[in-house]
Structure 1
Amino acid sequence: MDEMDLMKKLRDVPSPGPEAYDRARAALRTAMGEPVATVVRPKRWFSWPKAGVAAVGAAAVAAAVVVVTSGGSVPAGPSEAAPQAVETPLVKLASAVQAAGTQPGDASLIINTKFGLDDKPDLNYTLYTDQGRQFTGDSAKTLTDAVAKGQAEPATPYDGKVMAAARLAANGDVDKARIAMITASNNALGVGLSPAEAEKAWADAQAETAEIFRKYGKPVPAPKPRPTGKDLENLINNHLWSNAQHALFANAADAQVRAGVLKLYATIPDLVVGKASVDGQAALTLTAPPAILGGGADVLTINAGNGLPIREEITSAESSKRYVVNYKAFRVTVADVAAGRI
């Protein structure tokens, strides 16, 4: 099942409140025992065709997000310790980003243009403030109106956790930050727990998932055993890749967040870093290992000098659907945006 099939199956689910969204996101993330084709984030970061999003509502989007990044967290066994972030090109770039510091302002403005199967551009504006508020719009005007009227989206614990994990990595404690980023939604696989405690955490998460499906009148997925070995490792890195991208695409103009994400990506085994040129600017391509995406492809292109995201290309393994998103990130002030100075 790919993400659009899942959305179709959940088209009658009503939109939940912010707390229900977070609970659904955390529980449904553990519903599947294996990763599937692509990484999907909420609409404000990666916008699927508007008809699909409108049809299914926020709960379906939450389900799509968590299922495709399903997995757990860092295993407790000493033989499965987290990889170390060595002095790789990404770590060197992170150091340069930190040395340059964050530009003046009190918010990050992210403009993304998504090209779907029809190649028509779908424009989205997101303002993430230093206070953790978020404003969105599909044009400069709608974003300006939202900010001027104070129509911020409710802050979620998940957003706060991924930002905190990125900053922790930027400031040196990469191992601890890696665990925090991987478990930003849940600790279903039991970070640092005994085998018995980890099994209980997994069972509790499965039970919560089943309850959510029952609540919305959907077939309850069959329970799955807690993943182990290579399957567990792939799920761990799937979680890390997706959650770190969420932090980057929300708040890329914050140098601490950006540097931390780069350091965390440097810990993903088999991540391929290549060189490219985009519109005359030197760039790096970050290609996620296909195994952590269920055989799909996700290539993130960033500026080689400042680490800002430029483009993401996602291809589903099951349907071969391909999506391209172009990104622009700026440091701004909330007052300027409210006044229409974007």
Structure 2
Amino acid sequence: MDEMDLMKKLREVPSPSPEAYDRARTALHTAMAEPVNTVVRPKRWFSWPKVSVAAVGAAAVAAAVVMGTTGGNVPVGPADAAPPVVVESPLVKLASEVKAAGTLPGDASLIINTKYGPDNTPSHYYTVYTDKGQVFRGDSATSLAATVAKGDADDALPYDANVTAAARLAANGDVEKARIEMITASGRNVWGVGLSPADADKAWAQAQAENAEELRKIGKKMPDPKPRPTGKELEDGINSTLWDNTTYALYIAASNADVRAGVLKLLATIQDVTIGTTDVDGQAALTLTAAPALQAGRSTYVLTVNADNGLPIRSEIIPAKDSAEPSKHWVVDYKSSRVNLADVVAGKI
């Protein structure tokens, strides 16, 4: 059974969307910054990567599997890990320019995801995240409008509010505190961030017990418990969680300038993330590449963002050739806009 089959077995999670499966897969790939240009005020339309509210439930199960096999992956943070280093990264400069540019008007964010299957056939998904915490979905502009008109919304999970709040905190100056809050956004301090070694070990053991119970519910056996990681393994686990949670915040709230700026600042603190330049449909872009160390050795995760405004454009998982259990390759493109909910109902998207 692979991670997607595992997701299908999770009856407690309400109708996970394709984005949820992708986030679950990313979570399964984890165990345990730096480049760019100037920014201009974003245009009305922009691109960015995906996710879904249901992804949080998916990630919970994914985390259970990961902790049993490689050491964990749920927001966390250690007492004995090396302290984070906030470097003078181009991402920090870009973050300042993003914040200064401000947020476009509107009361919701629209995300149109295009996922490409093995045969390169595209599938489109429409999601609206309102500023009040509602989430509407559809497979076309028409079905989305109908869903919004009926008020058929899902409530955003606390995790959504936690990751976006942590990003805003980073944007407004307290990067270190924001980093801890982002790492622990799921409500569990698995890695023991800020705790004594003894308390950190207790938190780790409790998390493994909880994860074993989650696996038991879906008929999976939890591997034998492992001691809490130390050294580089612990650092990789923390940075993996930080990468997952910051990129999730970006996916659901990139149109908010403070969230986007805070994410850029937090990404600048992660080791094993390299920055490159590329071109996407004639537009200058940056590639933020999370090394296999942040993906449990199974893959490389590449996030492409606009080089002028930091908005996400594409996400891609590239399987590691030398991995015993490489992840599956996938690519998702995004187009998003800041909208008014009334316009969505009227089909003006």
Q: Give the TM-score normalised by structure 1.
A: 0.83
Alpha-carbon offset, residue 73 of structure 1: 2.4
Counterpart CA distance in 1 for 2:76 and 2:347 is: 42
Alpha-carbon offset, residue 33 of structure 1: 9.1
Per the alignment, residue 259 of structure 1 pairs with: 261
> Any gaps of 5 or more consecutive residues in structure 1?
19-28, 36-43, 48-52
Per the alignment, residue 76 of structure 2 pairs with: 73
In 2 relative to 1, CA 294–262 (structure 1 residues): closer, same or farther, beyond 3 Å? same
In 2 relative to 1, CA 304–122 (structure 1 residues): closer, same or farther, beyond 3 Å? same
Aligned pairs (5 A) from 1:295-306: 295=297, 296-306=299-309
Counterpart CA distance in 1 for 2:307 and 2:159 is: 28
Q: Does 1:228 align with 2:235?
A: no
Counterpart CA distance in 2 for 1:107 and 1:266 is: 28
Secondary structure, in 3 states, of the residue corresponding to 2:98?
helix
Q: Does 1:89 align with 2:90?
A: yes
Per the alignment, residue 15 of structure 1 pairs with: 12
Counterpart CA distance in 2 for 1:58 and 1:189 is: 18
Alpha-carbon offset, residue 9 of structure 1: 4.6
**How many correspondences in the alignment?**
311
Deviation by residue 1:119-161 (Cα, 9 ceiling, x = unmatched): 1112111111111221122211121111111111122111110
Aligned pairs (5 A) from 1:20-169: 34=31, 45-46=50-51, 62-64=60-62, 67=65, 70=73, 73-77=76-80, 80-84=82-86, 86-169=87-170
Per the alignment, residue 317 of structure 2 pairs with: 314
Aligned pairs (5 A) from 1:139-288: 139-185=140-186, 186-288=188-290
Alpha-carbon offset, residue 63 of structure 1: 2.2
Counterpart CA distance in 2 for 1:205 and 1:334 is: 40
Contact 1:34/1:71 (8 A) holds in 2: no
In 2 relative to 1, CA 153–67 (structure 1 residues): closer, same or farther, beyond 3 Å? farther
Contact 2:27/2:62 (8 A) holds in 1: no
Counterpart CA distance in 2 for 1:336 and 1:261 is: 28
Counterpart CA distance in 1 for 2:57 and 2:179 is: 28
Alpha-carbon offset, residue 67 of structure 1: 4.6
Counterpart CA distance in 1 for 2:27 and 2:191 is: 9
Counterpart CA distance in 2 for 1:314 and 1:191 is: 28
Per the alignment, residue 38 of structure 1 pairs with: none
- Equivalent position amino acid for 1:180 in 2: E
Contact 2:92/2:265 (8 A) holds in 1: yes
> Greater CA deviation, 288-297 or 155-164?
288-297
Contact 1:169/1:263 (8 A) holds in 2: yes
Superposition RMSD in Å: 2.8
In 2 relative to 1, CA 64–214 (structure 1 residues): closer, same or farther, beyond 3 Å? closer
Counterpart CA distance in 1 for 2:30 and 2:263 is: 26
Counterpart CA distance in 1 for 2:197 and 2:338 is: 45
Secondary structure, in 3 states, of the residue corresponding to 1:80?
coil
In 2 relative to 1, CA 287–32 (structure 1 residues): closer, same or farther, beyond 3 Å? closer
> Greater CA deviation, 208-217 or 330-339?
208-217
Structure 1 moving runs of 4+ over 6 Å = 29-33
- Equivalent position amino acid for 1:303 in 2: N
Match of 1:330 among 313, 317, 337: 337
Contact 2:75/2:242 (8 A) holds in 1: no
In 2 relative to 1, CA 259–61 (structure 1 residues): closer, same or farther, beyond 3 Å? closer
Contact 1:15/1:58 (8 A) holds in 2: no
Alpha-carbon offset, residue 271 of structure 1: 1.5
Per the alignment, residue 45 of structure 2 pairs with: none
> Any gaps of 5 or more consecutive residues in structure 2?
16-25, 33-48, 67-71
In 2 relative to 1, CA 65–126 (structure 1 residues): closer, same or farther, beyond 3 Å? farther
Alpha-carbon offset, residue 319 of structure 1: 3.4
Counterpart CA distance in 2 for 1:32 and 1:203 is: 21
- Equivalent position amino acid for 2:334 in 1: Y
Counterpart CA distance in 1 for 2:326 and 2:128 is: 33
Counterpart CA distance in 2 for 1:58 and 1:329 is: 21
